[in-house]
Amino acid sequence: MTDVFKLELDKELYKGTVSLNTGLFVNGQFVKPVEGGTIDVINPSTGKVITTVCAGAAKDVDLAVEAATKAYKTSWGLKVPGSTRGQMITKLANLIEQNSDELAALECMNVGKPFTSTKAEIANSIALFRYFGGWADKIHGKTIETTEKKMAYTRHEPFGVVACVIPWNSPFYMLSFKLGPALATGNAVVLKPSEITPLTALKFAGLLNEAGFPPGVVNIVNGYGNTVGDALSHHPLIRKIAFTGSTLTGRKILEASAKSNLKVVSLELGGKSPNIIFDDADIEQAVKWSASGIL
């Protein structure tokens, strides 16, 4: 059994208890890592430990990929029509909406953003999942005119098992960007959240079974980049990897893909939008804009 963490919050914009499991989410269940290991999750505004979560490694990635492969071949992918996938994704969006305050509060405490900012990002994530829920049954191929003696057509098919690696700065929003299209198109997923900000991904994992997703369709493996991230990049059964993060790590993922199975790689790299406030600025206004993220 893995531990359930309960966080008592008494903030101006949210009051209540947030509960989430701190294990790895593999094949529809929360489990402990094969070799043990933990990561302290820090509140950046205080420097104090919020909780401790399990840390996976290469063997845990193997188990997650095995579960995803089985799910893709037996209970997901081309075995499930797009309309059914869309219904599950839409139900998942509804569950996220029901838990939006808790998710925003977790994100606020773990990332260090204002509650209003994280609440807006959760709302955007809900909209993304609803969009892809509606899109799942509209993935069409084409018929191609040739001669009367034959018929030619194309069909869009899932990759199979895909890996998603998300950053620390907007973790739940990035989760929705990665998982929405992957699930709508019938892929099974192994997700690695940032080791710095894993809490909303773990809260999200608890909603997947409730939404009706078969075990193994989404697996979440907490861990460090040089262990879990490296194992995902090199794994021969992962057909595609989507990564948001640093340019240096993006190069390593491309290199690993070339050395393993030439998996398809999608990269969103580099930092952006720094705030530089000069001495002659209106400090009060600059602080408001910086805090709200609208600069």
CA distance 131 to 90: 8
Neighbours of 182 (CB within 10 A): 23
> Nearest 10 degrees: CA dihedral of 174, 179, 181, 184?
-150
Neighbours of 233 (CB within 10 A): 25
Does 102 qualify as catalytic in the annotation?
no
Q: Which of 114, 136, 134 is nearest to 126 (CA)?
A: 134
Query: Do residues 204 and 97 make contact, with C-beta atoms less than 8 angstroms apart?
Result: no
CA distance 184 to 179: 8
Pairing of strands 161-165, 188-192: parallel
Catalytic residue among 107, 157, 268, 284: 268
Kindly state the DSSP code that residue 248 receives in the 8-state scheme: H
The contacts of residue 245 (CB under 8 Å, 6+ apart) are: 165, 167, 268, 269
Catalytic residues: 268
